[in-house]
A = this chain, B = another copy of it.
Amino acid sequence: MNAEIISVGTELLLGQVVNLDTAIVAQELSGLGINLLYSAVVGDNVDRLKHAVDTAISRSDLLIMTGGLGPTTDDLTKETTAACAGKKLVLHQPSLDRILNYFNEKKVSSNQEKQAWLPEGCTVFQNDNGTAPGCAFQAESGCTIIMLPGPPSELTPMLKNYVVPFLKKEQEYVIVSHNVHIYGRGEAPVAQMLDDLMDGENPTLAPYAKEGECYMRVTAKAHTPEEADAMCQPLIEEIKRRVGDFVYSVDVETLEELVVFLLKERGKKLACAESCTGGLLSKRITDVPGSSSVFDMGCVTYANQAKEDLLSVSRETLERFGAVSPETAREMAEGMVRRSGSDLGVGITGIAGPDGGTAQKPVGLIYIALSDGEHTWVTKRSPLGRTKSREWHRHCAASQALDMVRRYLTGLPVEAEY
């Protein structure tokens, strides 16, 4: 099955918004074994959109449109595409009811109502995170057309929950994918380690980079999910064997999800003391629903005085070694355990940049400590001459802290060679 994507929106052509939708949809299509041959962006212009849609439905089996389903007058994807496909728009009452419910009103403006008008006979994908529903229908040419809302926060769940199951029904084969997540080794060295495994046709193996980490996607095609799954397993085992304990999960998407799961399973609580990450680690842990059972508190101690007051870091340590030192990280973690009464405490201190670096303590130098009240481990992140952003340094430091907790909880050496 050959597919293409058309993203609609002048903002994408003005460079105000990066087109994430294409990458999100492309990944899912790849997971389904659907060949994506083209993707295009068209502005909010009826003639150009019409031309792009006509070309697409004449040459592809599947056309996915993203964006332009909203309430404003420049949202014209639906009207234009339906016309190209020879379909009328009709009011879909359940979608209107959802919109009324969303605004908690009995009546909405005609602009808002417009979102509930959908191509006749289409399959409707409800929007659990916004107002504009998605839909799927067939053009007279036989091309299946799917329309999805533009905001990634609405598109992503709709895609995963409704569109992927819809497309799976149309496929002759079942595709099963597993993601092997790796922290502590980058995409390039991992790909090199696994080079000879990447020529396979079924199952296939493909490397993906993720901010500060990477994952390997194993995909197999078969007649049943069980069969496809069984085909993936030996390859997953071989990846684990070669990459070792840098593999942190199969299919658990983030370090924070894994850590919350492990803490729950082991009945442990964690508390975080953060300097340069400024709350990011606490934020990532509490991103996980249900984290309240394993996380009571965190302290963002940006100033030295705050490190003394909240965590009892000694003034002598701060003066002798500096706020950015293994000694301070250690005392922060230990102070956090005492302060919170939690089983584990993390301390992070470093220089996130862009300013504040020196020759001795450059931007990107960060110390991370983990204490269980009895023992404390400290690891270091070095900039290695790379010119990375503040955001990058902060994200990677929080990830490394989570990986240390993961290692502790699974009985691995906590101080890995990162």
Contacts and interface: CB of A to CB of B under 8 A. Distances in A.
Interface string A273-302: 010011111110111011110011111111
Contacts of A206: 10-11, 14, 16
Nearest to A390: B289
Interface string A10-25: 1111111111101111
A104 B394 CA distance: 21
A358 interface: no
Question: How many copies are assembled?
Answer: 2
Interface in A106-128: 109, 111-112, 128
A340 interface: yes
24 contacts: A11-B208, A12-B39, A13-B30, A13-B38, A14-B27, A16-B207, A17-B23, A18-B19, A40-B40, A103-B384, A111-B188, A151-B209, A153-B211, A272-B279, A279-B280, A279-B281, A289-B355, A290-B355, A296-B305, A296-B306, A297-B299, A300-B300, A306-B340, A309-B339
Interface stretch (A41-49, A228-236, A241-249, A402-410): A41-49
Contacts of A391: 153, 287
Given A15-B30, A37-B43, A292 B282 contact: no
Contact of A36 (B13, B72, B274, B384): B13
B301 A297 contact: yes
Contacts of A161: none
A31 B318 CA distance: 48
- Chain A interface residue number, banded: 35 or more
A406 B63 CA distance: 45
| Chain A interface, >50% SS class | mixed
Contact of A26 (B15, B52, B280, B340): B15
A300 B278 contact: no
A15 B24 contact: yes
Contacts of A184: none
Contacts of A290: 355
A216 B310 CA distance: 43
Contacts of A355: 289-290
A359 interface: no
B38 A39 contact: no
Given A15-B25, A278-B285, A289-B354, 5 more contacts: A38-B52, A279-B282, A279-B286, A289-B355, A292-B302
A93 interface: no
A48 B36 CA distance: 12
A102 to B, nearest CB: 5
A129 interface: yes
A87 interface: no
A339 to B, nearest CB: 8
A324 interface: no
A9 to B, nearest CB: 10
A315 interface: no
A387 interface: yes
A129 B391 CA distance: 11
A302 B310 contact: no
Given A310-B297, A388-B129, A28 B40 contact: no
A258 to B, nearest CB: 18
A224 interface: no
A71 interface: yes
A250 interface: no
A362 B208 CA distance: 39
A15 to B, nearest CB: 3
A39 B37 contact: no
B37 A13 contact: yes
A418 interface: no
A272 B298 CA distance: 12
A217 interface: yes
A285 B300 CA distance: 11
A274 B272 CA distance: 14
A16 B289 contact: no
A292 B303 contact: yes
